[in-house]
Structure 1
Amino acid sequence: MTKSLQVPEPSNDLLELAAGVRRSAMSLGQKDDNQRKSAIEAMAASLEVNKSKIVVANEKDLKTAKQDGLADALIARLKLDEVKLKGAIAGMLQVADLPDPLGIRQVHRELDENLVLDRVTVPLGVLGVIFEARPDAVIQIASLAIRSGNGALLKGGSEALLTNEAIMKALKEGLHSSEVESDSLALLTTRKESLSMLKLDGFLDLIIPRGSNQLVQFIQDNTRIPVLGHADGICHLYIDSEADLQKALRISIDSKTQYPAACNAIETLLVHHDIAEQFLTLAIPIFNKLGVRLLGDLSSQKLGVQELADESDWSKEYLDLILSIKIVSNIDEAIDHIHRFGSRHTEAIVTSNEQNAEFFLRAVDSSGVYHNCSTRFADGFRYGFGAEVGISTQTLPPRGPVGLEGLVTYRYRLRGDGHIAEEFNSGEKSFSHIDLPL
């Protein structure tokens, strides 16, 4: 998507579909905890029954994508085999077991005798989610939406069309056997529909884009609906002068190679010059063996990195077995580099110096900042959220992997007995403002 594209008005069919999702979402928001939990379990069971159909559909999508020359990073995200599908189903069941995010009283306050205020959590309404390549996102989004009482209108990339359709069909079959309306979820399939979605203000309460920086920027520039999402995942790992070499090597390899197509894989390795020669002597042969293409600054080239990184490399999200390496003189230079080129996604430091670790954790302004562990832990499932609708790198909450708590808002409710504001303005009465048990 680019800024030159025109956003078309929604068709009557799309308006009718969106209206149906909104009506169902209103009903869903009234369902109790057990009803929503049972609906997710029914969807998970239906996915299990239909898993062979889903895998076959995915194999067809993969074949077409490879013939069309889809990038390797997107091919990796597109693949949904039985192992990956099993993990997605497990995440769905984990979402079902999470505490109910709705109806939680956050404020309970007496303003006056028989005038009591409370604030409780409620669903957002309807989510519009646009994502590229990853069909397992349909499963994650559906489970989080139903658990949090929200309807969802989903649009995946055309490369995953058959897989997305097979998944959505299975999810709706599961909902048919539950007390939640199947129209709470809907899948869009055309590019025109995804563009028109941006004009569904009044039907959608939040748009969540999962994809390239270009996609996110286009959506933010072309809709009046609130947008939640991250652009690039330019993640860094800093090897401090007091790092354990073997620990640093283990974390570096995992952060880059465990799943390089993920947004939480590192794209830049920052190494303190005091430890650089020792570390790179160990790391370069292993990275070479694993097929990682290394780009480096002049200092790292003197220590064995073959290719020179140019200025643009520090801002690139490779999503591939490519890693930029820079030698830094101290922790301040490392942090300055992260602030200049990072995307506020996830950064990590490897060090045995607790003071340096704490300084890094406090000074780096990213949604996730780690000490002595892989950046690959930046994930809703790994955080115990069951799943995520995406990772938000904005400063305002929700931030980081967005699970259930990021999909609810709150409502103030005030119960009185004929109270009027004039009584308090005139001085006839004064507020008591007594906090009551939650």
Structure 2
Amino acid sequence: MTDKSTETKVSEAQSAALELAKLPESERNAALYDIADAIEAERERILDANETDVEEAEERLAEGEYTRALVDRLELSASKLESITDMVRSVADQGDPLDRTLESRRLDSGLELYKVSVPIGVIGTVFESRPDALVQIAALSLKSGNAVILKGGSEASSSNRVLYEIIREATAGVPTGWAQLIEAREDVDTMLGMDDSIDLLMPRGSSQFVSYIQDNTSIPVLGHTEGVCHVFVDRDADLSMATEIAYDAKVQYPAVCNAVETLIVHQEVAEEFLPVVAERYREADVELRGDETARSIVEMKEATEADWSSEYGDLILSITIVDSLTDAIDHVNAYGSKHTESIVTETAARASTFMRSIDSASVFHNASTRFSDGYRFGLGAEVGISTGKTHARGPVGLDGLTTYKYHLEGSGQVVGTYAGDDAKPFLHEEFEGDWNPGHLSGE
């Protein structure tokens, strides 16, 4: 990579964004297929670079600097690379998010207004140790016509550098500069001050990290923060189903943000349910931490106040027993991170109450929290899971990387015609029709 300043890289991204917004979908898709093919062809190169990162991370794990969860997220394998290429092709196969007519309104005969989807522009991203995040973000940005500034964690620097170089080489036909890699921590601070050049920031990390970004920039921030997710086993739950859901939500992949961190159990089923699920957890080496009632049923460590708001990212689970549906809802809203929650119950009315009362981006009924994912939602992939409430929420796919603008097609109209004592009234009629420059569908 050439040694350019962050300002130069952002400037190049700005220029590329203007051209990328006009690039036909067929060319964007072709570039995505080229990326997938290149990753497959360069598999050994990627795995060698990743091995360097993992070896260094294992040393820092032994020294107590890193967690096992971080190392697990960092490590790539042949199967993970296959999943990455499948993801890139899945993004290419999604419908075009650009130039979609969202609304059509006839203001007058021959005067038609269209609300049309367009790229956001230049997106700055800062993400954690998972190298596959770089590919996901780049693929979604390309498909949605956005230029992107990529900043991964230093623990994945070798992996990120190789993946970036492969992506850049594979997209020679895309406007130069559409994807930029920055690596130094001070580059992030530089980026935060470039509100005249960067249109959106997307940090992925802890709440403290996202808060730091928000407090030190005037650029709009779409935050992906920690996942303190819950499964509530209701009094009316199918307990066999509840066992499988609670187990999957914790054990299937504990290092990710949509894994469950707190299991909430209704007191009416706790005596029957808890010993069964606890045995399953123990077979998987899950450390259990419970409140007083949970510990009176099954032997486990004592949960502290901090446990209820902790994202472990590991084989650790806190358990609390509640007296009512209302208590479960209150616990989630008090301690959750607004990510993903699930209720297991056979009573639709109780599921509805839970789902409508929880203030989280995703709320499930009789399903594992692990389904909270852009690929599983059918979005192709995700740039992150937004726990905020504006612009985009939950897994952010292609639609979350677009905004809109208004196109007005006229035939010589002036505002004076619609003002004053003899003002002509507006029609303001909604109609079915797509924006097609220069071709009005009016009378």
Q: TM-score range by the shorter chain?
A: over 0.9
Residue 225 of structure 2 aligns to a residue whose secondary structure is coil
Pairing partner for 2:159 from 139, 163, 174? 163
Matched residues in 2 for 1:14 and 1:234: separation? 34
Looking at structure 2, the residues matched to 436 and 284 of structure 1 have their Cα atoms a distance apart, in angstroms, of 58
Alignment of 1:351 onto 2:332: no
* Counterpart pick for 1:48 among 36, 40, 49: 40
> Partner of 2:113 in structure 1?
117
Distance 1:235 1:229 in 2: 17
Matches within 5 A, 1:98-247: 98-176=94-172, 179-247=173-241
**Cα deviations by residue, 1:239-293 (Å, 9 ceiling, x for unpaired):** 0111111111111111011111110001100001110011111111221221111
2:246 pairs with 1:256: no
Quote the Cα distance in structure 2 between the aligned partners of 1:255 and 1:163: 28
Q: Which residue of 1 aligns with 2:429?
A: 434
Deviation digits for residues 363-421 of structure 1, max 9, x if unmatched?
21211111111100000011111110000111224110000000000010112233222
Match of 1:61 in 2: 53
Residue of structure 2 in register with 1:28 after alignment: 20
Pairing 1:371–2:365 present:
yes
**Residue 302 (structure 2) aligns with:** 308
After superposition, the C-alpha distances for 1:108-131 in whole angstroms (9 at most, x for unaligned) are 222123222111000000110000
SS at match of 1:166: helix
SS of structure 2 residue aligned to 1:248: helix
Q: Which residue of 2 aligns with 1:269?
A: 263
Name the counterpart of 1:7. Answer: none
Q: Which runs of 5+ in 2 are unaligned?
A: 434-443
**Matched residue, 1:402:** 396
Q: Aligned partners of 2:4, 2:275: CA distance in 1, in Å?
A: 63
The number of residues matched between the two structures is: 426
Question: Residue 281 of structure 2: which of 287, 295, 318 is its match?
Answer: 287
Q: 1:305 to 1:422 in 2, by over 3 A?
A: farther
Residue 76, structure 1, aligned to residue 72, structure 2: yes
Amino acid at match of 2:364: Y
Measure, in 1, the Cα distance between the counterparts of 2:220 and 2:432.
34
Secondary structure at 1:302 match in 2: helix
Distance in 2 between residues matched to 1:272 and 1:307, nearest whole Å: 20
Give percent identity, aligned residues only: 43
CA distance in 2, matches of 1:195, 1:78: 24
Q: Report how far residue 329 of structure 1 moved.
A: 0.6
Query: Deviation digits for residues 200-228 of structure 1, max 9, x if unmatched?
Result: 21221100001111110100000010000
Which letter does structure 1 place at the counterpart of 2:300? Q
Q: Does 1:325 align with 2:301?
A: no
Partner of 2:385: 391
Distance in 2 between residues matched to 1:324 and 1:371, nearest whole Å: 21
> 1:264–1:376: 8 Å Cα contact kept in structure 2?
yes
Q: 1:182: how far off? A: 4.1
Whole-Å separation in 2 of the counterparts to 1:416 and 1:245: 63
**For the residues of structure 2 that align with 1:51 and 1:149, how far apart are their CA atoms?**
27
CA distance in 2 between partners of 1:337 and 1:435 (Å): 45
Structure 1 gap segments, 5+ residues each: 1-10
Distance 1:261 1:24 in 2: 36
Name the structure 2 match of 1:95. 91
Structure 1 letter corresponding to 2:289: L
Secondary structure at 2:155 match in 1 = helix
Give the AA of the match of 1:216: V
Paired with 2:210 and 2:105, the residues of 1 have a C-alpha distance of 41
CA distance in 2, matches of 1:272, 1:435: 50
> 1-side partners of 2:409 and 2:274: how far apart?
66
Evaluate the alpha carbon distance shift between residue 130 and residue 160 of structure 1 in structure 2; reply closer, same or farther with a 3 A threshold: same
For residues 173-216 of structure 1, the C-alpha deviation after alignment (integer angstroms, 9 at most, x for no partner) is: 1101xx31242101111111122111121221100001111110
Question: What is the CA–CA distance in structure 2 between the aligned matches of 1:219 and 1:186, rounded to whole Å?
Answer: 19
Q: Secondary structure at the match of 2:297?
A: coil
Alignment of 1:410-425 (within 5 A): 410-425=404-419
Q: After superposition, what is the alpha-carbon deviation per residue over 1:84-136, rounded to whole angstroms, capped at 9, x for unaligned?
A: 11101101100000000001011222212322211100000011000010110
1:430 CA displacement = 1.3
Whole-Å Cα distance in 1 between the matches of residues 359 and 132 of structure 2?
29
Question: Distance between the aligned counterparts of 1:397 and 1:340, measured in 2?
Answer: 24
SS of 1:189's equivalent? coil
State TM-score, norm by structure 1: 0.95
The 1-side partners of 2:29 and 2:7 are apart by: 29
Aligned residue type for 2:267: H
SS of the residue corresponding to residue 319 of structure 1 reads coil
Does the CA contact (< 8 Å) of 2:294 and 2:320 recur in 1? yes
Paired residues of 1:284 and 1:305 also in contact (CA < 8 A): no
RMSD: 1.3
Q: Quick check: 164-173 or 427-436, which moved more?
A: 427-436
User: What CA distance in whole angstroms lies between the structure 1 residues aligned with 2:427 and 2:22?
Assistant: 33
- Asked if the contact 1:238/1:269 (under 8 Å) is kept, the reply is yes
Q: CA deviation at 1:20?
A: 0.6
